[in-house]
Amino acid sequence: MNIKRYVAYRLLSSLFVLFGLSLLIFTLSRLVPGDPARLALGAMAPQWAVDKLREQLHLNEPIYVQYFYWVSNVIKGDLGKSLITRRDVFSDILEFFPATFELVMFSVLISSSLAIILGVTAGKYANSLWDNFVRVTSYVGIAIPDFVWAILSVFIFGYLLRWFPTLGRLSSGVVAPTKVTGFLMVDCLLAGRFDIFLDGFYHMILPGSSLVLGRLSQEARITRASVVENLNKDYIMAATSFGIPERTITLKYLLKPSLIPTVAVMGMDIAGSLGGSFIIERIFNWPGIGRYGISAMLSNDINAVVGVVMLTGVFFAFMNIVVDLITAYLDPRIMMKMKSG
Amino acid sequence: MSTSNKNMMYVGIVIAIVIIAAGYWWMTQPTQEPEPEPEPEPEPIFYRSTWAWPTRIDPAVGSDGSSLSAIPNLYNSLVRITPEGVVGPELAESWDVTNGGLTYTFELRKGVMSHSGNEITAEDVVFSMDRLLTMGEGLAYLFLPYIDETTAVDTYTVQFDLLKNFGPILTVMYNFYVLDEVTVMENLGEGEYGDLGDYGKEWLMTNDAGTGPYMVKEFLLEEKLVMEKFEDYWGETLDVEGFKFVENAPDIMEMIGTTEPITVRTMMARQELECTDSWQPFENLEEMVETEGVEMIGEVDDALLNLMMHTRKAPTDDVHFRKAIAYAFDYETVVTDIFPYTTMVKGVVNEVLPGYDSSLEPYRRNLDKAMEELQQSKYYDQLDEIEIEIHWCAEVPAEERVSLLFMANMAELGISVKIVKEPWLSMIETMADQELSPNVVVVYNSVHFPEVGGDVMRYHSESAPTWEQNEWLLDETLDAMIEDALETVDQLERFEKYSEIQQYIYDLCPTVYVLQTTTLRGIQDYVDYPYVEYGEHVSGFVYKVPSGFRFFYGLYTGINPP
């Protein structure tokens, strides 16, 4: 019951954060130089057409009036029209978000599982040859940005070895099944098209793995540090002196508390990937929300910019709550605090 | 023998008899010919190319390079620019000009079917023009000042009444595309056009209502546009020469929205791409040529790279000062070192444009002449106090090199230069204000329609508050000359007026014409690029093609995949 109250409280406080974010991004988007209506219609468009579009966008009103219009439309589920695609920004988000989400989930599954394995083993065998290997590899992973990995992987696995495709979500001539959920992989499975599913999965390997290394390295280091810290705690020594098998100690008593900081970082990594994967999406021509957002910024597509930033904000807020709940599950002390209000 | 063993023996005997009988029956069956395997479906022929995104395929919205490359494959115009560079028939079989050039009547081909199977009639033409003018987007600005009314005289006759004469109207008409009204009306969304909703705008962003040789198969926003061959294309069904598919015409055309060099190069190496976009770094193209067996092809297009000089701001408000700059600038270094394979401008407009005057002696680097002009300038004695500002677009890094060269050239005259890097969005804002506009701006200018008038119209005062004109000429005489030329129906007479305009601009020297752009692309050696057949060879792999002539792969060249 109290957990529900806690979630409700967090949702409510997130609304304030999102309100602040919307004020900030809305104002910034209107302060960027260049008339969005003129940019959308071109230098030679007749003035009446520009004026009409300005009127539709309420650009002639003071900024607080514009914001009022925007908020009242958002409440009705209308984020406005994109000046690039000429469609509802909400429809665009529904179109592009699944592509990024699938990519991010693919990379998260790989990076999280590997990070935990590497971090725990490196921590358990601290200062061993394996630990040093993981350390050096992690430093390299953290130091080199995602886009460098992307370019390297295109060069090695796409250009030299030609193992994986480097462009888009499906091969030429392959048509995606009818949209049901908007998530390509899910829709393929629902339509029973395993051939297209495999083709899509094949296309996801290079862009997805380009997002893996940075996160994997950071999360592995954090897990390792946490494991080392917990290994020296009294309850682990007590468990060991009671003769409890090492496997049980690791999986039952060591892993859960050691994962708490890792989970917090993972949550932020996932949320950050939503907007931060734009370079990867650009390199692999991945039609995701990051790429859409950058195109919108370069074209001064004000409604789309605000829509994408707000989506990222919502996702961050959501991930924060999820992380809190997972942390509470992993640490009974936090759970008890939540329950006691 | 026990009972169970006996039973087992009987069962065995029965099974053996059944097997022998089945074998006998099978052996005695007449031998059947194995059914012939069905012919494998031929692999579709692909033509895949990369483009700078976004591509807008609604003919009343799209106006940029990739859009204007996609639209003519999906739609048809009434007329087209032929490979010879003149206006020729397309959906219209013939036309008449009456009423002193104020009425244009087009006779449409009969039996032209849209991708939805509806016949195209005069009503569709009226609908398409009304839609374009009502929306006022894309290329509508070319028609809005001139088209008064469009009328369907009968099923296959359409008449355009003009508000005032517009000489190049037929040349401009190749940018007016006809939509199938029935298809559009079936796909109206909610919008600001009353009963017409959104005029089909949203639907037409990802679908087509055209008659062109290709139709939209799939449009994945932010990824690619996939078009497939339209088997009932009117060029084929009506057997019209010049509009039929050639052998090995691509079945599928993909326009992929990326210009990332590493991705493009990888795709070319894997032969998953037939042609690159025109934004590839020159070094990347050269590498592809050397290592991947890719060919490089260049098209002298109708755009110019200009240094626009503010004629109402000191010291570039002095014509001698401007001429000194024009004579001091090193054009040769630009076309050889900074933008290889581009060509120098031979006058004040691009030489591929009909109406170009070749009699003007172009400004070339000549420091003596530059100094002579500078000495005649009213600012000659104040050079120590003068600093001119040049702005270049932050999104085009090569422009910085042009600016640096400009700075070095001006230093030879004793003129100080301040270089300012400015994002495009900010640059547009700056250039829209006469006070804020800098002395010099580095900008690419394209033509509005393939004639000299389509270039020089940017010097009209109406263009002054846009990024198209940093010169701020605001010259009533020139405005009148431009208007007069554009209203001249007779082509020869119009071209003579264009010559006078070019001379006038030449004397004013408001612009340093840096170069004529050459669009470079990498293509697979199994693609016969149409430039080779339809263009005029300039040098190496560079060709000059008629301005406004648009290639349709299905109609002009085939692909022969390895």
Q: Give contacts of B272 with chain A, Cβ < 8 Å.
A: 165, 167, 172
CB contact under 8 A, B468 and A48: no
CB contact under 8 A, B258 and A154: no
Task: Identify whether B263 is part of a domain.
Answer: no
A102 and A195 in a common domain: yes
Q: Give contacts of B468 with chain A, Cβ < 8 Å.
A: 43-44
Instruction: Give the model's pLDDT for residue B30.
Output: 59
Instruction: Tell me whether A12 touches chain B (CB under 8 Å).
Output: no
A285 and A176 in a common domain: yes
B337 and B232 in a common domain: no
- Quick check: helix, strand or coil at residue B230? coil
Task: Identify whether B16 is part of a domain.
Answer: no
Instruction: Give the model's pLDDT for residue B176.
Output: 96
Residue A260 domain boundaries: 89-339
Instruction: Tell me whether A277 touches chain B (CB under 8 Å).
Output: no
Instruction: Tell me whether A148 touches chain B (CB under 8 Å).
Output: no
Distance of alpha carbon A246 from alpha carbon A255, whole angstroms: 12
State the nearest Cα–Cα gap between B75 and chain A, in angstroms: 20
* Domain count across chain B: 2
B170 and B120 in a common domain: yes
B544 and B430 in a common domain: no
- Give yes or no for a contact between B510 and B445, defined as CB atoms under 8 angstroms apart: no
A238 and A282 in a common domain: yes
A184 and A41 in a common domain: no
State the nearest Cα–Cα gap between B428 and chain A, in angstroms: 6
Distance of alpha carbon B529 from alpha carbon A76, whole angstroms: 52
pLDDT tens digits, residue range A3-25? 788 888 889 999 999 999 999 99
Q: How does the average pLDDT of chain A come out, rounded? A: 90
Q: CA-nearest residue of chain B to A95?
A: B221
Residue B318 domain boundaries: 299-519
Residue A94 has pLDDT above 60, yes or no: yes
For the record, the structure tokens of B17 come out as 């008899």
Query: What are the helix and strand counts (H, E) for chain B?
Result: 19, 19
Low-confidence ranges of chain B (pLDDT < 50): none
- Give yes or no for a contact between B127 and B181, defined as CB atoms under 8 angstroms apart: yes
CB contact under 8 A, A295 and B222: yes
CB contact under 8 A, A282 and B260: yes
Task: Identify whether A220 is part of a domain.
Answer: yes
Instruction: Give the model's pLDDT for residue B26.
Output: 64
B100 and B200 in a common domain: yes
In chain A, % helix, strand, coil (3-state, to 5) comes to 75, 0, 25
B63 and B145 in a common domain: yes
CB contact under 8 A, A283 and B262: yes
Nearest by CB to A167, from B53, B58, B263: name it. B263
CB contact under 8 A, B254 and A172: yes
B389 and B537 in a common domain: no
Task: Identify whether B262 is part of a domain.
Answer: no
A213 and A93 in a common domain: yes
The half-sphere exposure of B460 on its side-chain side, counting CA atoms within 13 A, is: 17
Q: Give contacts of B224 with chain A, Cβ < 8 Å.
A: 168, 285
Quick one: average pLDDT of A103-132? 92
Residue A37 has pLDDT above 80, yes or no: yes
Distance of alpha carbon B421 from alpha carbon B400, whole angstroms: 8
- Quick check: helix, strand or coil at residue B467? coil
* Domain count across chain A: 2
- Quick check: helix, strand or coil at residue B544? strand
Task: Identify whether A213 is part of a domain.
Answer: yes
Nearest by CB to A285, from B63, B201, B257: name it. B257
ipTM for the assembly = 0.85
Q: The domain spanning residue A299 has which CATH number?
A: 1.10.3720.10
- Long-range Cβ pairs for the range A185-189 (8 Å, 24+): A185/A102
Task: Identify whether A24 is part of a domain.
Answer: no
CB contact under 8 A, B217 and A155: no
A52 and A109 in a common domain: no
Task: Identify whether B211 is part of a domain.
Answer: yes
| CA B475 remoteness from chain centre | 31
Quick one: average pLDDT of A101-115? 93
Beta carbon pairs, A and B, within 8 Å: 127
Task: Identify whether A83 is part of a domain.
Answer: no
Of residues A304 and B552, more confidence is placed in A304
For the record, the structure tokens of A173 come out as 């001539």
CB contact under 8 A, A42 and B138: yes
A46 and A98 in a common domain: no
Q: CA-nearest residue of chain B to A40?
A: B137
Instruction: Give the model's pLDDT for residue B74.
Output: 96
Q: The domain spanning residue B331 has which CATH number?
A: 3.10.105.10
A292 and A151 in a common domain: yes
Q: CA-nearest residue of chain A to B272?
A: A172
Instruction: Give the model's pLDDT for residue B34.
Output: 61
Residue after which a domain boundary falls, among A46, A78, A110:
A78
DSSP state of B559: B
Say which residue the tokens 């059947």 belong to.
B32
Instruction: Give the model's pLDDT for residue B477.
Output: 97
B251 and B148 in a common domain: yes
B495 and B538 in a common domain: no
Quick one: average pLDDT of A178-183? 90
How far from each other are the two terminal CA atoms of chain B, in whole angstroms?
75
A163 and A265 in a common domain: yes
H-type alpha helices, B412-522: 424-431, 452-456, 476-486, 491-508
pLDDT tens digits, residue range B341-351? 899 999 999 99
Lowest mean pLDDT among A32-36, A130-134, A321-325, B199-203: A32-36
**Full-model pTM:** 0.86
Quick one: average pLDDT of A257-273? 88
Q: What confidence tier does A207 reach under pLDDT thresholds 50, 70, 90? A: very high
Task: Identify whether B7 is part of a domain.
Answer: no
Instruction: Give the model's pLDDT for residue B28.
Output: 60
Nearest by CB to B425, from A85, A283, A300: name it. A300
State the nearest Cα–Cα gap between B426 and chain A, in angstroms: 5
Q: Which of A293, A252, A253 is nearest to A273 (CA)?
A: A293
What separation in angstroms does the CA of A260 have from each of A267, A326, A337, B442?
A: 11, 8, 16, 55
Lowest mean pLDDT among A156-160, A204-208, A335-339: A335-339
Residue A202 has pLDDT above 90, yes or no: yes
A330 and A308 in a common domain: yes
CB contact under 8 A, A92 and B54: no
